Amino acid sequence: MNIQKIGVIGAGQMGNGIAHVCALAGYDVLVNDISQEALDRATSQIDRNLARQVGRGLVTEADADAAKDRIKTTLTLADLGRTDLVIEAATERETVKDAIFRELVPHLKPETILTSNTSSISITRLASRTDRPERFMGFHFMNPVPVMQLVELIRGIATDEETYKACLGVVEKLGKTASSAEDFPAFIVNRVLVPMINEAVYVLYEGVGNVKSIDEAMKLGANHPMGPLELADFIGLDTCLAIMNVLHDGLADTKYRPCPLLTKYVEAGWLGRKTSRGFYDYRGEEPVPTR
């Protein structure tokens, strides 16, 4: 299948990154969101990120300008019906994703491939509620999208080989590496990563160490580039909690029980960098541990 035009649903951190790399690879991109403000922020963020790449000599000025010209935005979800591939990158809530697909499906071309950037939700279940489960799969980018090389490709039980190969071709054209994962809760990366973060929160909760000592221990003792609590703030504590709940519900194993302290931070609205407070307080010049 010849994919030329890509639709991206959601103009947040993941959505604008996906639009950025797709446009830079030569695809025409149409980005949808329910808020014009979100679309404007996404466009500005893409411009800044492209300028940063030009400044580092990673992208030419001409290629950056061409990529910007390939990106269009719309508040009307139905406009994505004329694209060849749709990548849904809305919030990590299954009810929201289901509602989006229900509204979009009647407007799609028969051959359009539907994908979700979900980091943990069942691809088989999402696909079953559409009219094209064989042309549906998981297309999970890592954050930040322009920097991270990996894309997880997740086949649902009905995903056909043609759809998989078409998505694999897109990943290769983006200059990224695909990792094929089976459709089990949280797939590969988050199945390993987020329980580690949750365990770090338990270590904090039980008073074994404070925020600074836990992060320093893992950076210097395990050679991690970022401590687990710092990483949790970067991902978003609400997203971490959502993934732990998917693991706990989907695998019915107590080792995936979300730490009560993680739940408490989310209840407080301290979600990490995006709210300026999480395990660190980002409101000053330097991040300060909150515990």
Per-residue pLDDT of the chain (291 residues; tens, 9 = 90+): 789 999 999 999 999 999 999 999 999 999 999 999 999 999 999 999 999 999 999 999 999 999 999 999 999 999 999 999 999 999 888 999 999 999 999 999 999 999 999 988 999 999 999 999 999 999 999 989 999 999 999 999 999 999 999 999 999 999 999 999 999 999 999 999 999 999 999 999 999 999 999 999 999 999 999 999 999 999 999 999 999 999 999 999 999 999 999 999 999 999 999 999 999 999 999 999 999
Q: Prior bond to 144 cis, omega within 30?
A: yes
Query: At a CB cut-off of 8 Å and minimum separation 6, what does 274 contact?
Result: 13, 236
Tokens 């935005």 locate to 73
The pLDDT of residue 120: 87
14 assigned binding-site residue = yes
143 assigned binding-site residue = yes
Kindly list the catalytic residues.
Answer: 119, 140, 152, 190
The pLDDT of residue 1: 73
13 assigned binding-site residue = yes
227 assigned binding-site residue = no
Q: In terms of CATH, what superfamily is 5-182?
A: NAD(P)-binding Rossmann-like Domain (3.40.50.720)
36 assigned binding-site residue = no
| pTM score | 0.88
Domain spans, the chain: 5-182, 191-289
* CATH pick for 191-289 out of 1.10.287.950, 3.30.70.270, 1.10.1040.10, 1.10.3470.10: 1.10.1040.10
Strand order in the sheet with 177-181: 71-74, 28-32, 5-9, 85-88, 113-116, 136-141, 150-155, 177-181
11 assigned binding-site residue = yes
The pLDDT of residue 92: 86
12 assigned binding-site residue = yes
Tokens of 100: 């989006």
Characterise 251 by phi-psi region: left (phi > 0), alpha (psi -120 to 50), beta (else).
Answer: alpha
